[in-house]
Amino acid sequence: MTDLQERLVAYSLAETLRRLRAHIGEQELNPEELADETALPVTVVRALLNGDDPGTTTVEERVCSRIKNLSDAHLHKYGKREGDLVAEVHTRLGISDVWARKLLRGEKVPNVTLLHGIADFFEVDGGEAFFTAPPAEALNRVLQLRLNRYETPEVDPVQVLMERYGVVGSDLRLHGAALTNEQLEALLAGVIKSVMPTIQQQGDAPR
């Protein structure tokens, strides 16, 4: 993730928190509950809620940590022994019990196929991204779900069209054409003007 992307993610989380707190008032967000929902360490959740930097982690570290946290939470919730969970994962994913145990303990990094299987096994939202997303992005995803209880998400038809044809902000940045809001507005205005004569001609055509 680039520095720009990190700043955008941090800004998005801060904005979600601002809007959510405007709805819930003095009610505090529970770091322990959010840690359970995101499989993030409680210390990381607290830091993010306070607007602090939780530190840098690699994708591999995030994956291993969140698998272990999910495994521990699963054992606690269902009162299982580690051997029982290992046997279930071993059978479900078709891997050895030794490999399953190392995965669940966060000692080994799974490949993409195994990570997909683990996501299905624990029934997490977001699939593989649940394990790989940076902490701020992972927390923001969960908070957005809570925010949607208070706000009805608005569908931006322009954004839908841009995504449909692959013209999204991240794509423009990757191609070195970072557009300001004014430039994007001018671009869209030009597109609209170019199609208006066609629409008018269709409306004036004899029936």
pLDDT tens digit string along 29-64?
A: 999 999 999 999 999 999 999 999 998 899 999 999
Distance, first Cα to last Cα, the chain: 56
17 pLDDT more than 90: yes
What pLDDT was estimated at residue 5? 77
CB half-sphere exposure, 167, CA atoms < 13 A? 11
Contact partners, residue 41, CB within 8 Å, separation at least 6:
35, 65, 69
What pLDDT was estimated at residue 111? 96
For 157-168, how does the pLDDT look when each residue is reduced to its tens digit (9 = 90+)?
A: 555 555 555 554
Reported pTM? 0.70
Distance CA(164)–CA(161), nearest Å, equals 5
What pLDDT was estimated at residue 196? 56
For 112-138, how does the pLDDT look when each residue is reduced to its tens digit (9 = 90+)?
A: 999 999 999 999 988 999 999 999 999
Place of tokens 């969970």: 85
- Conformation bin of residue 167: beta by default, left when phi > 0, alpha when psi is -120 to 50: beta
CATH topology for the 59-132 domain = 434 Repressor (Amino-terminal Domain) (1.10.260)
% of the chain exceeding 70 in pLDDT: 73
